[in-house]
Structure 1
Amino acid sequence: MSISIRTFTVADTDAVLALWLDAFPEYGDTGRPHRDPRLSIANKLGTQPELFFVAVRGEDSEGGAVVGTVMAGYDGHRGWLYSLAVAEDARRLGIGTRLVRHAEHALAAIGCPKLNLQVLSSKPDVLAFYDALGYRADAVVSLGKRLGMQESEASA
Protein backbone atom coordinates (compact mmCIF):
# COMPACT_ATOMS: atom_id res chain seq x y z
CA MET A 1 0.00 0.00 0.00
CA SER A 2 1.41 3.36 -1.03
CA ILE A 3 1.03 6.00 1.71
CA SER A 4 2.17 9.60 1.57
CA ILE A 5 1.99 12.27 4.24
CA ARG A 6 1.22 15.85 3.34
CA THR A 7 -0.23 19.00 4.82
CA PHE A 8 -4.01 19.12 5.22
CA THR A 9 -5.98 21.07 2.61
CA VAL A 10 -9.57 22.32 2.88
CA ALA A 11 -10.55 19.71 0.28
CA ASP A 12 -9.69 17.04 2.91
CA THR A 13 -12.31 18.32 5.38
CA ASP A 14 -15.11 15.80 4.74
CA ALA A 15 -12.72 12.84 4.73
CA VAL A 16 -11.07 14.01 7.96
CA LEU A 17 -14.44 14.56 9.64
CA ALA A 18 -15.57 11.04 8.69
CA LEU A 19 -12.29 9.56 9.97
CA TRP A 20 -12.45 11.48 13.25
CA LEU A 21 -16.08 10.60 13.93
CA ASP A 22 -15.14 6.94 13.52
CA ALA A 23 -11.89 7.12 15.50
CA PHE A 24 -13.16 9.47 18.23
CA PRO A 25 -16.78 8.58 19.06
CA GLU A 26 -16.74 11.32 21.71
CA TYR A 27 -16.71 13.89 18.86
CA GLY A 28 -20.30 12.94 18.13
CA ASP A 29 -21.45 14.02 21.61
CA THR A 30 -23.33 17.26 20.97
CA GLY A 31 -23.37 17.91 24.71
CA ARG A 32 -19.64 18.62 24.51
CA PRO A 33 -19.22 21.58 22.15
CA HIS A 34 -15.49 21.74 22.92
CA ARG A 35 -15.16 18.48 20.97
CA ASP A 36 -16.62 19.86 17.74
CA PRO A 37 -14.37 18.51 14.96
CA ARG A 38 -15.35 21.27 12.51
CA LEU A 39 -14.29 23.87 15.04
CA SER A 40 -11.02 21.98 15.64
CA ILE A 41 -10.25 22.10 11.92
CA ALA A 42 -11.17 25.78 11.63
CA ASN A 43 -9.03 26.66 14.65
CA LYS A 44 -6.06 24.69 13.33
CA LEU A 45 -6.32 26.41 9.96
CA GLY A 46 -6.02 29.70 11.86
CA THR A 47 -2.99 28.61 13.92
CA GLN A 48 -0.01 26.81 12.41
CA PRO A 49 -1.93 25.06 9.59
CA GLU A 50 1.41 23.81 8.28
CA LEU A 51 1.46 21.44 11.28
CA PHE A 52 -1.77 19.63 10.32
CA PHE A 53 -0.90 16.46 8.43
CA VAL A 54 -2.86 13.77 6.62
CA ALA A 55 -1.77 10.33 5.50
CA VAL A 56 -3.13 9.53 2.06
CA ARG A 57 -3.45 6.13 0.40
CA GLY A 58 -2.86 5.93 -3.32
CA GLU A 59 -0.39 7.01 -5.97
CA ASP A 60 -1.82 10.53 -6.20
CA SER A 61 -1.47 12.15 -2.78
CA GLU A 62 -3.81 14.99 -3.79
CA GLY A 63 -6.61 12.68 -4.89
CA GLY A 64 -6.00 9.67 -2.67
CA ALA A 65 -8.07 8.55 0.28
CA VAL A 66 -7.27 10.12 3.66
CA VAL A 67 -6.42 7.26 6.03
CA GLY A 68 -4.77 9.16 8.87
CA THR A 69 -4.33 12.51 10.58
CA VAL A 70 -2.22 14.24 13.16
CA MET A 71 -2.18 17.85 14.31
CA ALA A 72 0.84 19.38 16.00
CA GLY A 73 1.47 22.71 17.65
CA TYR A 74 4.39 24.61 19.12
CA ASP A 75 4.09 27.55 21.49
CA GLY A 76 7.81 28.36 21.71
CA HIS A 77 8.21 26.33 24.89
CA ARG A 78 6.96 22.84 24.04
CA GLY A 79 5.08 21.06 21.32
CA TRP A 80 1.84 19.12 21.41
CA LEU A 81 0.28 16.35 19.36
CA TYR A 82 -3.47 16.15 18.80
CA SER A 83 -5.96 14.10 16.82
CA LEU A 84 -3.78 11.20 15.74
CA ALA A 85 -6.21 8.92 13.95
CA VAL A 86 -5.88 6.06 11.48
CA ALA A 87 -8.75 4.51 9.54
CA GLU A 88 -9.88 1.16 10.92
CA ASP A 89 -8.90 -0.73 7.75
CA ALA A 90 -5.43 0.87 7.68
CA ARG A 91 -4.37 0.20 11.26
CA ARG A 92 -1.35 -1.91 12.20
CA LEU A 93 0.44 -0.91 8.99
CA GLY A 94 2.76 1.67 10.56
CA ILE A 95 0.75 4.70 9.44
CA GLY A 96 0.26 6.05 12.97
CA THR A 97 3.96 5.70 13.66
CA ARG A 98 4.82 7.48 10.41
CA LEU A 99 2.43 10.33 11.25
CA VAL A 100 3.92 10.77 14.73
CA ARG A 101 7.47 10.69 13.37
CA HIS A 102 6.52 13.19 10.64
CA ALA A 103 5.09 15.58 13.23
CA GLU A 104 8.14 15.10 15.49
CA HIS A 105 10.49 16.00 12.63
CA ALA A 106 8.41 19.05 11.68
CA LEU A 107 8.46 20.28 15.28
CA ALA A 108 12.18 19.59 15.72
CA ALA A 109 12.86 21.55 12.52
CA ILE A 110 11.33 24.67 14.09
CA GLY A 111 13.27 24.27 17.34
CA CYS A 112 10.80 22.40 19.54
CA PRO A 113 12.74 20.73 22.39
CA LYS A 114 9.95 18.64 24.00
CA LEU A 115 6.68 17.16 22.86
CA ASN A 116 3.60 16.49 24.99
CA LEU A 117 0.31 14.76 24.32
CA GLN A 118 -2.70 13.66 26.29
CA VAL A 119 -4.48 10.32 26.08
CA LEU A 120 -7.79 9.46 27.70
CA SER A 121 -7.08 7.08 30.57
CA SER A 122 -9.83 4.81 29.23
CA LYS A 123 -7.71 3.97 26.14
CA PRO A 124 -4.94 1.55 27.23
CA ASP A 125 -4.26 0.48 23.63
CA VAL A 126 -3.43 4.09 22.71
CA LEU A 127 -1.19 4.42 25.77
CA ALA A 128 0.64 1.24 24.69
CA PHE A 129 1.10 2.65 21.17
CA TYR A 130 2.78 5.80 22.48
CA ASP A 131 4.84 3.82 24.98
CA ALA A 132 6.23 1.79 22.07
CA LEU A 133 7.27 5.08 20.41
CA GLY A 134 9.21 6.19 23.49
CA TYR A 135 6.64 8.42 25.18
CA ARG A 136 6.50 8.23 28.96
CA ALA A 137 4.13 9.62 31.56
CA ASP A 138 5.40 12.85 33.08
CA ALA A 139 5.09 13.36 36.83
CA VAL A 140 2.46 16.06 36.36
CA VAL A 141 -1.27 16.42 36.74
CA SER A 142 -3.12 17.63 33.68
CA LEU A 143 -5.53 20.44 34.52
CA GLY A 144 -8.02 22.12 32.25
CA LYS A 145 -10.55 24.91 32.20
CA ARG A 146 -13.10 25.62 29.51
CA LEU A 147 -12.96 29.29 28.61
CA GLY A 148 -16.04 31.23 27.57
CA MET A 149 -18.46 28.85 29.32
CA GLN A 150 -20.32 29.04 32.59
CA GLU A 151 -18.65 27.11 35.39
CA SER A 152 -21.56 24.65 35.53
CA GLU A 153 -21.15 23.86 31.81
CA ALA A 154 -17.38 23.50 32.12
CA SER A 155 -17.61 20.67 34.63
CA ALA A 156 -19.59 18.48 32.22
Structure 2
Amino acid sequence: MTAAAPSPALSIALITDHDVADVVALWQECGLTRPWNDPTTDIALARRGPNSAVLVGRDGGALVATAMVGHDGHRGWVYYVAVDPGRQGKGLGRTIMMAAEDWLREAGVPKLQLLVRRENAKAGAFYQSLGFEESTSVMFAKWLDGREATW
Protein backbone atom coordinates (compact mmCIF):
# COMPACT_ATOMS: atom_id res chain seq x y z
CA MET A 1 0.00 0.00 0.00
CA THR A 2 1.38 3.39 -0.95
CA ALA A 3 1.03 6.48 1.16
CA ALA A 4 -1.54 9.00 0.01
CA ALA A 5 -0.19 12.16 -1.53
CA PRO A 6 -0.43 15.15 0.78
CA SER A 7 -3.56 17.21 0.32
CA PRO A 8 -3.08 20.74 -0.99
CA ALA A 9 -3.51 23.43 1.60
CA LEU A 10 -6.65 25.24 0.54
CA SER A 11 -8.27 27.79 2.76
CA ILE A 12 -11.94 26.69 2.86
CA ALA A 13 -14.67 29.16 3.85
CA LEU A 14 -18.30 29.95 3.22
CA ILE A 15 -19.02 32.09 0.19
CA THR A 16 -19.37 35.83 0.79
CA ASP A 17 -21.25 38.44 -1.22
CA HIS A 18 -17.89 39.54 -2.62
CA ASP A 19 -17.24 36.00 -3.96
CA VAL A 20 -20.44 35.51 -5.98
CA ALA A 21 -19.22 36.91 -9.32
CA ASP A 22 -15.93 34.96 -9.10
CA VAL A 23 -17.79 31.74 -8.22
CA VAL A 24 -20.18 32.14 -11.16
CA ALA A 25 -17.23 32.84 -13.47
CA LEU A 26 -15.44 29.68 -12.24
CA TRP A 27 -18.58 27.59 -12.76
CA GLN A 28 -18.93 28.97 -16.28
CA GLU A 29 -15.26 28.32 -17.03
CA CYS A 30 -15.69 24.72 -15.82
CA GLY A 31 -18.83 24.20 -17.93
CA LEU A 32 -21.12 23.67 -14.94
CA THR A 33 -23.82 26.23 -15.75
CA ARG A 34 -26.85 25.58 -17.89
CA PRO A 35 -29.20 28.14 -19.49
CA TRP A 36 -32.18 26.93 -17.45
CA ASN A 37 -30.39 27.32 -14.07
CA ASP A 38 -29.34 30.81 -13.06
CA PRO A 39 -26.19 30.27 -10.96
CA THR A 40 -26.70 33.48 -8.98
CA THR A 41 -30.18 32.30 -8.00
CA ASP A 42 -28.78 28.87 -7.07
CA ILE A 43 -26.19 30.54 -4.82
CA ALA A 44 -28.81 32.75 -3.16
CA LEU A 45 -31.05 29.75 -2.51
CA ALA A 46 -28.18 27.75 -0.98
CA ARG A 47 -27.31 30.66 1.31
CA ARG A 48 -30.89 31.15 2.59
CA GLY A 49 -31.05 28.44 5.20
CA PRO A 50 -28.98 26.35 7.58
CA ASN A 51 -29.22 23.13 5.54
CA SER A 52 -27.07 24.29 2.63
CA ALA A 53 -23.95 26.29 1.89
CA VAL A 54 -21.51 27.19 -0.84
CA LEU A 55 -17.92 26.40 0.12
CA VAL A 56 -15.05 28.19 -1.56
CA GLY A 57 -11.42 27.14 -1.60
CA ARG A 58 -8.65 29.68 -1.89
CA ASP A 59 -5.02 29.18 -2.72
CA GLY A 60 -3.40 32.34 -1.42
CA GLY A 61 -5.97 34.96 -2.32
CA ALA A 62 -7.21 33.26 -5.48
CA LEU A 63 -10.60 31.53 -5.45
CA VAL A 64 -9.78 28.19 -7.11
CA ALA A 65 -12.41 25.66 -5.95
CA THR A 66 -16.06 25.44 -4.95
CA ALA A 67 -18.68 22.99 -3.78
CA MET A 68 -22.35 23.63 -3.06
CA VAL A 69 -23.53 21.31 -0.30
CA GLY A 70 -26.89 20.69 1.32
CA HIS A 71 -29.03 18.09 3.00
CA ASP A 72 -32.56 17.01 3.89
CA GLY A 73 -31.52 15.59 7.27
CA HIS A 74 -30.75 12.13 5.89
CA ARG A 75 -29.16 12.52 2.48
CA GLY A 76 -26.54 15.07 1.67
CA TRP A 77 -26.06 16.42 -1.82
CA VAL A 78 -23.18 18.18 -3.49
CA TYR A 79 -23.36 20.33 -6.60
CA TYR A 80 -21.17 22.76 -8.52
CA VAL A 81 -17.89 21.10 -7.61
CA ALA A 82 -15.40 23.18 -9.54
CA VAL A 83 -11.64 23.57 -9.69
CA ASP A 84 -9.87 26.20 -11.74
CA PRO A 85 -9.03 24.37 -15.00
CA GLY A 86 -5.40 25.46 -14.81
CA ARG A 87 -5.07 23.84 -11.39
CA GLN A 88 -6.94 20.58 -11.98
CA GLY A 89 -5.14 17.32 -11.30
CA LYS A 90 -3.38 18.64 -8.19
CA GLY A 91 -5.73 17.37 -5.49
CA LEU A 92 -7.85 20.51 -5.11
CA GLY A 93 -11.03 18.66 -6.10
CA ARG A 94 -10.35 16.04 -3.43
CA THR A 95 -9.75 18.78 -0.89
CA ILE A 96 -12.99 20.68 -1.61
CA MET A 97 -14.92 17.38 -1.59
CA MET A 98 -13.40 16.49 1.80
CA ALA A 99 -14.61 19.88 3.05
CA ALA A 100 -18.12 19.15 1.74
CA GLU A 101 -18.09 15.73 3.43
CA ASP A 102 -16.91 17.33 6.68
CA TRP A 103 -19.70 19.92 6.47
CA LEU A 104 -22.25 17.12 6.14
CA ARG A 105 -20.69 15.04 8.93
CA GLU A 106 -20.87 18.05 11.26
CA ALA A 107 -24.59 18.29 10.40
CA GLY A 108 -25.02 14.60 11.32
CA VAL A 109 -25.88 13.55 7.77
CA PRO A 110 -25.00 9.86 7.12
CA LYS A 111 -25.10 9.69 3.31
CA LEU A 112 -23.77 11.80 0.44
CA GLN A 113 -25.18 11.69 -3.07
CA LEU A 114 -24.43 13.64 -6.20
CA LEU A 115 -25.50 13.78 -9.81
CA VAL A 116 -23.17 13.51 -12.79
CA ARG A 117 -24.27 13.94 -16.38
CA ARG A 118 -23.78 10.63 -18.23
CA GLU A 119 -21.62 12.27 -20.88
CA ASN A 120 -19.18 13.58 -18.26
CA ALA A 121 -16.91 10.54 -17.96
CA LYS A 122 -14.10 12.63 -16.45
CA ALA A 123 -16.30 13.68 -13.52
CA GLY A 124 -17.59 10.12 -13.09
CA ALA A 125 -14.04 8.79 -12.88
CA PHE A 126 -13.12 11.52 -10.38
CA TYR A 127 -16.00 10.63 -8.04
CA GLN A 128 -15.27 6.91 -8.35
CA SER A 129 -11.69 7.66 -7.29
CA LEU A 130 -13.17 9.19 -4.12
CA GLY A 131 -15.11 6.02 -3.32
CA PHE A 132 -18.47 6.93 -4.85
CA GLU A 133 -20.40 4.16 -6.56
CA GLU A 134 -23.02 4.44 -9.27
CA SER A 135 -26.46 4.05 -7.74
CA THR A 136 -29.12 1.72 -9.09
CA SER A 137 -31.80 4.31 -8.30
CA VAL A 138 -33.55 6.13 -11.10
CA MET A 139 -33.86 9.87 -10.77
CA PHE A 140 -37.16 11.55 -11.60
CA ALA A 141 -37.54 15.29 -11.95
CA LYS A 142 -40.28 17.85 -12.43
CA TRP A 143 -40.10 21.61 -12.87
CA LEU A 144 -42.45 23.17 -10.30
CA ASP A 145 -42.77 26.40 -12.28
CA GLY A 146 -44.32 24.61 -15.27
CA ARG A 147 -41.28 24.64 -17.54
CA GLU A 148 -40.79 21.85 -20.04
CA ALA A 149 -38.15 19.25 -19.22
CA THR A 150 -34.63 20.26 -20.25
CA TRP A 151 -32.88 16.90 -20.02
Bigger helix fraction? 1
User: How many Å apart are 1:48 and its aligned residue?
Assistant: 3.1
Aligned AA (1:36):
D
Distance 1:123 1:44 in 2: 24
Residue aligning to 1:105: 102
Question: Are 1:7 and 1:50, in contact at CA under 8 Å, matched by a contact in 2?
Answer: no
Distance 2:91 2:79 in 1: 18
Residue 29 (structure 2) pairs with residue 22 (structure 1): yes
Q: 2:119 aligns with which of 98, 109, 122?
A: 122
Structure 1: stretches of 5+ with no match in the other structure: 59-63
Q: 1:7 aligns with which of 4, 14, 27?
A: 14
Q: What SS class does the counterpart of residue 69 from structure 2 fall into?
A: strand
Distance 1:73 1:140 in 2: 20
Aligned AA (2:16):
T
In the TM superposition, what whole-angstrom CA distance separates every residue of 1:48-101 from its partner, at most 9, and x where no partner exists? 37632001121xxxxx11111001101112100111001111111111100111
- What TM-score do you get using the length of structure 1 for normalisation? 0.85
Q: 1:79 aligns with which of 64, 76, 79?
A: 76
Q: What SS class does the counterpart of residue 82 from structure 2 fall into?
A: strand
Question: Are 2:83 and 2:93, in contact at CA under 8 Å, matched by a contact in 1?
Answer: yes
Among the aligned pairs, what percent are the same residue? Answer: 34
Distance 1:130 1:2 in 2: 20
Superposition pairs of residues 38-77 of structure 1, within 5 angstroms: 38-48=40-50, 51-58=53-60, 64-77=61-74
Question: Are 1:52 and 1:69, in contact at CA under 8 Å, matched by a contact in 2?
Answer: yes
What's the Cα RMSD here? 1.6
User: How many Å apart are 1:139 and its aligned residue?
Assistant: 1.1
Matched length: 143
- What TM-score do you get using the length of structure 2 for normalisation? 0.88
Question: Are 1:19 and 1:85, in contact at CA under 8 Å, matched by a contact in 2?
Answer: yes
Question: Are 2:83 and 2:92, in contact at CA under 8 Å, matched by a contact in 1?
Answer: yes
Question: Are 1:56 and 1:68, in contact at CA under 8 Å, matched by a contact in 2?
Answer: yes
Distance 2:32 2:15 in 1: 22
Residue aligning to 1:154: 148
Structure 2: stretches of 5+ with no match in the other structure: 1-7
User: How many Å apart are 1:155 and its aligned residue?
Assistant: 2.0
Distance 1:23 1:48 in 2: 27
In the TM superposition, what whole-angstrom CA distance separates every residue of 1:128-150 from its partner, at most 9, and x where no partner exists? 0000000001110011111112x
